[in-house]
Amino acid sequence: MKPARNASRESLFSLAAALSLPMFAPSAMADFIGDSKARIDMRNHYINRDFRQHNAPQSKAEEWAQGFTARVESGFTDGTFGFGLDALGELGLKLDSSPDRRGTGLLPFGPQSHEPDDEYSELGLTGKLKVSKSVLKLGTLQPMLPVATYNDTRLLGSTFEGGLLTSQEIDGLTVNAGRLTKANLRDSSSNDDIGYGAATSDHFDFGGGSYAFSPQLNLSYYYGKLDQIYRQQFAGLLHTQALGNGFNLRSDVRYFDSRGDGAERAGRIDNRNFNSMFMVSHGAHKVSAAYQQLSGDSAFPFLNGGDPYVVNLVTFNTFTRAEEDSWQLRYDYDFAAQGIPGLTFMTRYTDGSHVKAGSVDNGREWERDTDISYVIQSGVLKNVSLRWRNVTFRSGNGLTTDLDENRLIVGYTLALW
């Protein structure tokens, strides 16, 4: 089987090389092919969301779908300038849904009929150029940066189009800079103009980096500007410390300052967001406490197709409304300590208050989440992951969203080479 797999890999990248890198001799392609890797991520996702408030326009949202994400990543050609090519293919298939049960975020649906699509897909290519310890990527991107974080909480991950330069020329320092122009949402096949809310822009520019002063201390700063909509600054600190007797403390402190830019197409943006999480771990146990405080006249802005980089981003809610204060308590346990490797448990409670939204001046909301997951350790189903997520969300003082939710997720990654 292994020779056939290698032959398949060489055939695929020889074709890519012939199409995209015709100027290079075969000897220069050795690392391009030899350092390549490919995998298929499979995710089966079921969501049942029961809306509990009176007069809800939809009594429940319930959908079941299967997702496939194929990733092929080349190495780099030999030489001062190394060239490479990555490919991303995503396919979502409807297993069960209907117009009266749509809207879980698993499947797109028609604007008039509300009929969920039977399938949706995306194909993205990314060209790469490497010089020394710097890499420039152009094409389809899934950034994980404080000012631009892609969403991967449903069937398929969202993507962006643009360019990203990552440099690690100085030991301990990682610098990122780039521009995003399009976004493909997690339940969409189309690339739309980058934007926030109902407003769109020509581009989102960003830059910044992080510096590791030691293995225990990391500081970071980023700046982002969604042209004619908002501009944002971020500063963060990560610190780990051994407390003795097997206890360890992890501190994660983040601060955002967001203001309007140019024509302010999304309305006035005025938000400061301080959030932090402190986690104490000992053996199989982890206990975390988080606090998030927003000030200013608007909600916390983040890119359509992305997630906010905040500690109280939980299963359903983000707790990022204007003036909202929120706190979280969380507990994790790894059952490997009881002789059951692969089985983990998490539960958390998040509470938000002082929300300003429209005519609401002092809204309240809270969420309780429980996760139980298991990764099969042996046999023909080895490495298949099973996860059950249970959510309860309630709001009050003028806010009107109440729901109970269950998610069942089965995942598996197949390495092709």
Contact 142, 157 (CB under 8 A): yes
Query: pLDDT tens-digit profile of 138-173?
Result: 999 999 999 999 999 999 999 999 999 999 999 999
Partner residues linked to 325 by β-bridges? 293, 353
Is residue 31 helix, strand or coil? Answer: helix
Structure tokens at 334: 């790894």
Cα four-point dihedral sign 331, 337, 338, 344: positive
What proportion of the chain, given as a percentage, has pLDDT over 90? 89
Other residues' Cβ atoms within 10 Å of the Cβ of residue 256: 26
CA-nearest of 366, 369, 365, 326 to 347 is 369
Q: pLDDT band for 9, please (50, 70, 90 cuts).
A: low
Contact 41, 71 (CB under 8 A): yes
Would you state the pLDDT for residue 56? 76
Q: What is the mean pLDDT of residues 329-343?
A: 98
d(CA 231, CA 259): 5
Element (H or E) spanning 282, and its range?
strand 270-282
How far are the Cα atoms of 171, 222, 293, 391 from residue 303, in angstroms, in the given order?
31, 15, 20, 25
Query: pLDDT tens-digit profile of 284-303?
Result: 999 999 999 999 999 999 99
CA-nearest of 42, 101, 36, 37 to 67 is 42
pLDDT value at 230 more than 70: yes
Task: Collect all residues with Cβ–Cβ distance below 8 Å to 385 and sequence separation of at least 6.
Answer: 373, 374, 375, 376, 409, 410, 411, 412
